[in-house]
């Protein structure tokens, strides 16, 4: 089991480092379920740093529904709906890793308080957000068989919609 977990960690790390793509992710329902669970839990933990539980839960569930729905829609439009499980696993697996990286940064910001210096952790968190968008663009370019620029446009659109809609319920 540890060997499998190490292999999956390395796979998602390689995708985060833009060395592999969603086509390298096994199309296994169990893996998709684990990735969705990890994504949901890591996102919930990040949100709980600054948001009440029920609001954070609604926000992460909305984000997961939006990610899944938009992904299926765009894969369908590009005539690649069969790529949905692998692509969603890649997005949520890498999202889990990036979410876990965001935890210490969010904790640093929250524990500085209103009078503390949050400049450095805020810049690092902004860089992590930008990298997250780059990873999503990288995954989508392979899944949709489009240019990196088209993948970036889709990634930015999803990110903007997610932030806007989750902010509305927060």
% of the chain residues with pLDDT over 90: 89
Summarised one tens digit per residue, pLDDT across range 43-78 is: 999 999 999 999 999 999 999 999 999 999 999 999
Indicate the number of domains in the chain. Answer: 1
* Count of beta carbons in the 10 Å neighbourhood of residue 31: 19
Query: Per-residue confidence at 1, pLDDT binned at 50, 70, 90?
Result: low
Range of the domain at 158: 2-168
| Cβ count within 10 A of residue 59 | 21
- Residues 146 and 75: their CA atoms lie apart, in Å, by 11
Q: Model-level pTM?
A: 0.95
Q: What distance lies between CA 31 and its chain's CA centroid?
A: 16
Supply the DSSP symbol for 81: G
């Amino acid at each position: 089991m540890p060997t499998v977990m190490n292999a999956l960690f390395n796979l998602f790390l390689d995708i985060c480092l833009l060395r592999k793509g969603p086509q390298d992710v096994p199309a296994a329902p169990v893996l998709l379920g684990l990735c969705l669970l990890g994504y949901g839990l890591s996102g919930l933990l990040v949100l709980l740093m600054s948001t009440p539980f029920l609001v954070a839960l609604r926000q992460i569930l909305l984000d997961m529904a939006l990610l899944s729905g938009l992904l299926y829609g765009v894969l369908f439009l590009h005539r690649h709906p069969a790529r949905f499980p692998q692509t969603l696993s890649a997005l949520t697996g890498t999202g889990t890793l990036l979410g876990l990286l965001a935890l210490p940064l969010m904790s640093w910001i929250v524990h500085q308080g209103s009078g503390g210096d949050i400049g450095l952790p805020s810049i690092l968190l902004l860089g992590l957000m930008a990298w997250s968008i780059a990873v999503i663009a990288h995954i989508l370019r392979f899944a949709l068989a489009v240019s990196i620029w088209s993948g970036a446009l889709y990634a930015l659109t999803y990110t903007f919609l997610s932030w806007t809609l989750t902010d509305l319920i927060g």
